[in-house]
Amino acid sequence: MSLKRLLSAALVTSSLLAAGAATAATLVTLNPSATNGLGAAGVVSGADGPFQAVGFQSNLYSTLTIGGNTGVQGFLETGYIKITSFMNSSNGVVASGVNSNYGIIGNFTLSGVGAWAGNFFNMSPVGVSMVVNLLGDPGNDGVGPMVNLGTATLASSPSPVAFAIAFGSTALGATGDALTSLSANLQLTPAPGTTGVGGFFEAPIPFNIQLAVGNAGGNSANTSYTVDATTGVVTVITPKGPGVNPGTANATFVPEPGALSLAALALIGVGVATRRKARAQA
């Protein structure tokens, strides 16, 4: 399969994942004005009140190292996801870039083992680990002080993560552009003081973060790689800097089935209690 075909498949998969998740995500409420126990310094944004999360369009910057250019190899990717756009379900307005009212950064580590098939490297789902530390950025400037929002790890559901990358050449000393695809289902453990009334995450708890990452607009030039001429170690970089087109990511906050079940049970309980009270009064 060519690089372009792989990219198309990756982007279609990412779009479907993000679109499906967005439909289910409307019950997760965020409150950017929450103090999170830190006073004014903890407010991510005081410009807007709570809203329901539909979807997040974000950028990804990272460095990926693959232990060699043939066979089965371990890999390690580190970097961060900067959420630059928030969609507010109440009015459909999207604020992006420097005009965004909200700032969340996810510092992440992804590690595991994968295997080469020609110029393609595919991750094995066995033994993979992904950890994302979410930080609220009150100034949306990357300077801080940051607000700890919690840690997300891979959910226990089947196939919680898929990762693949394609190269033009994997010969010793080769360089060029690469195309990547990553999807992950993460379970977030919110930091103490960030949930419930007055917290950044209001309802429901717990919930998952569904992440889909691909190359922006079919542009493979935003991810470059080198193959060490001696060791065969492959280094892939999605950089950050002026004029750089970063990797794109879609993140969606999705209620866990258990959270929805609890909410349904609560509503049923309220209904039963109301009927009992009405009968008693009659």
pLDDT of residue 241: 57
Q: Residue 39 has what pLDDT?
A: 55
pTM given for the model: 0.77
Cβ-based neighbours of 153, under 8 Å, separated by 6 or more: 129, 130, 131, 132, 186, 187, 189
Q: Report H helices in the chain.
A: 3-24, 257-281
The rounded distance, in Å, linking the Cα atoms of 228 and 143 is 35
Average pLDDT, the chain: 73
pLDDT band at 262 (very low <50, low <70, confident <90, very high): very low
Q: What mean pLDDT comes out for the span 217-238? A: 83
The residue among 242 and 116 whose pLDDT is bigger is 116
| pLDDT of 25 strictly over 60 | no
Confidence of residue 17 (pLDDT cuts 50, 70, 90): very low
Confidence of residue 149 (pLDDT cuts 50, 70, 90): confident
Cα separation, 131 vs 256, in Å, equals 18
Query: Which residue did the predictor score with more confidence, 131 or 241?
Result: 131
Distance CA(167)–CA(180), nearest Å, equals: 9
pLDDT digits (tens, 9 = 90+) for 66-97: 999 999 999 999 998 887 666 555 544 444 44
Find the Cα–Cα–Cα–Cα dihedral 257, 15, 57, 246, rounded to 10°: 130
